[in-house]
A = this chain, B = another copy of it.
Amino acid sequence: MKLAVRLVDIAARGVLLHQQDAKTLGVFPGDRVVITNLSTGFSIADYVETTSTLIKQGKLGIYHQSNEQLQVKDGESVEVRVSDRPVSLDYIRKKMEGERLSREEIKMIVTDIVHDNLSPSEITAFVICSYINNLDIDEIESLTRSMVETGDRLEFHTGPIVDKHSIGGVPGNKITFLVVPIIAAAGLLIPKTSSRAITGAGGSADLMEVLAPVEFSAAEVQQMTQKAGGVIVWGGATNIAPADDKIIIQEYPFKIDQIGQMIASVMAKKFAVGADVVAIDIPVGKNCKVHSIPEGRKLAQSFIEIGDRLGMRVECALTYGDAPVGRAIGPALEVKEALAILEGSESPNSLIEKSTEIAGIALELAGKANRGEGSALALDLLKSGKALKKMKDIIAIQGGNPEITSDLVKLGEFFHIVKAERDGYVVDLNNKSLITIARVAGAPNDHGAGLYIHAKPGTRLKRGDPIFTLYAERKWRLEKALETARTLRPVIVEGMLMDRVPNQREWLPSKQRNNGVE
Contact (Cβ within 8 A) B26 A253? no
CB pair B11 A128 closer than 8 Å: no
| Cα(A250)–Cα(B125), bound, Å | 10
> CB of A504 within 8 A of chain B?
no
- A49 at the B interface (CB under 8 A): yes
Q: Copy number in this complex?
A: 2
User: Nearest chain B CB to A146's CB is how many angstroms away?
Assistant: 20
Q: How many angstroms from the CA of A133 to the CA of B98 in the assembled complex?
A: 11
Q: Does A120 contact B (CB under 8 A)?
A: yes
Asked if A507 is at the interface (CB within 8 A of a chain B CB), the reply is no
A16 touches B26 (CB 8 A): no
What is the CA–CA distance of A123 and B92 in the complex, to the nearest angstrom? 17
Which of chain B's residues have a CB closer than 8 A to the CB of A63? 49
Check if A445 is an interface residue, CB within 8 A of chain B: yes
Q: Does A216 contact B (CB under 8 A)?
A: no
Complex contacts, A89 vs chain B, CB 8 Å: 253-255
Please name all residues of chain B whose beta carbon is closer than 8 Å to the beta carbon of A26 when the two chains form the complex. 442, 445, 477
Tell me, yes or no, whether A122 is within 8 Å of chain B by CB. yes
- Decide yes or no whether A53 CB sits under 8 A from chain B: yes
- In Å, the complex CA distance between A53 and B8 comes to 9
1/0 contact string of A406-430 vs chain B (CB within 8 Å): 0000000000000000000000000
Minimum CB–CB distance for A97 against chain B, Å: 8
Known: A254-B93, A442-B26. A52 touches B125 (CB 8 A): no
Q: How distant is the Cα of A219 from the Cα of B250 in the complex, in angstroms?
A: 40
Q: How far is the CA of A250 from the CA of B142 in the complex (A)?
A: 27
By beta carbon, the residue of chain B nearest A118 is B253
Give Cα distance in the complex from A398 to B489, angstroms: 62
B12, B121, B477: the one contacting A120 at CB < 8 Å is B121
Which A residues between 230 and 255 are near B, CB-CB below 8 angstroms? 250, 253-255
Residue-wise, chain A 294-318 has the 8 Å CB interface mask toward B (1 for contact) of 0000000000000000000000000
- Nearest Cβ in chain B — how far from A470, in angstroms? 16
Report A60-91 CB contacts with B as 1/0, cut-off 8 Å: 00010100000000000000000001000100
Please tell me if the beta carbons of B10 and A121 are within 8 angstroms of each other in the complex: no
The proximity string for A residues 116-142 relative to B, scoring 1 for CB distances below 8 Å and 0 otherwise, is: 000111111100110111000000000
Q: Which residues of B contact A445 (CB under 8 A)?
A: 26
- List of B residues within 8 angstroms of A122 by Cβ: 124, 253
Residues of B within 8 A of A96 (CB): 128, 131-132, 254, 256
Q: Does A50 contact B (CB under 8 A)?
A: yes
A9 at the interface (CB under 8 A from B): yes
Quick check: B121 and A250 within 8 Å, CB to CB?
yes
Instruction: State whether B51 touches A29 (Cβ < 8 A).
Output: no
Report Cα–Cα, A131/B50, bound state, in Å: 33
Does A19 reach chain B (CB closer than 8 Å)?
A: yes
Contact A53 B133 (CB under 8 A): no
The answer, yes or no, to whether A38 is at the interface (CB within 8 Å) is: no
8 contacts between A and B (CB under 8 A): A10-B16, A26-B477, A85-B253, A89-B253, A93-B255, A125-B254, A128-B128, A129-B132
**Lowest 10 CB-CB distances: which A-B pairs, in order?**
A121-B124, A12-B49, A11-B50, A128-B128, A9-B53, A120-B121, A11-B29, A124-B124, A121-B121, A93-B254
- Given A89-B255, A96-B256, 12 more pairs with CB closer than 8 A: A10-B16, A11-B19, A11-B49, A12-B30, A26-B477, A85-B253, A89-B254, A96-B128, A121-B123, A124-B124, A124-B128, A125-B125
